[in-house]
A = this chain, B = another copy of it.
């Protein structure tokens, strides 16, 4: 299934996710080919990282497909998604870290579609009473993807055994995202309505100067 191009792309991910400015020579060596052949496969550096981004998005879209996230119980769907996306966690980590990708319209559109599916899954789960409603679906989507990326980084760095990946991701995320079976003492207080509760919310939060951004 994996074409020769995809093999090179996955090798490139391993290098670029650690050193985004790695030379093409280094990337080529990581893929077991020469710089000339790399240029024969991809016309340039921009094309290379764009193809990596597209590969990652295709894989994540495929994970959403095989998990059938639109079907059935939301919790079960999310567990299926965990299993389906963990193998491609490294590519998700690249997607999360390489913000430069989101200047390309093709990638941006594809990204928005996948995130919308994720968002819809969490919204559905909230309506089903499965996921907590104190946390916005947007935040749940972001957090889930970031944790998938964290899985990828941890495995790359040897901090997490691939065998434990799916369990670690599912347990940590679902523990925080699922509604508690019975309320009782476990349910925390809702977010403060006034701005004085958290003392430092606006103290020196960076980049308050950029009103609107693009990365959806």
Interface residues of A (CB under 8 A from B): 2, 10-11, 13-14, 17-21, 30, 83-84, 86-91, 96-100, 103, 132, 134-136, 138-140, 142-143, 146-147, 149-150, 152-160, 162-168, 170-178, 180-181, 184-186, 188, 190-192, 195, 198-207, 209-216
Contact = CB atoms under 8 A, between A and B. Distances in A.
14 contacts: A13-B206, A86-B200, A135-B172, A138-B160, A139-B154, A139-B164, A139-B168, A146-B150, A166-B198, A171-B176, A171-B188, A172-B177, A175-B175, A180-B186
Given A99-B97, A138-B160, A213-B158, A206 B83 contact: no
B186 A181 contact: yes
Most chain B CB inside 10 Å of its own CB: which residue of A13, A18, A86: A18
Nearest to A164: B191
Most chain B CB inside 10 Å of its own CB: which residue of A13, A103, A209: A209
B18 A21 contact: no
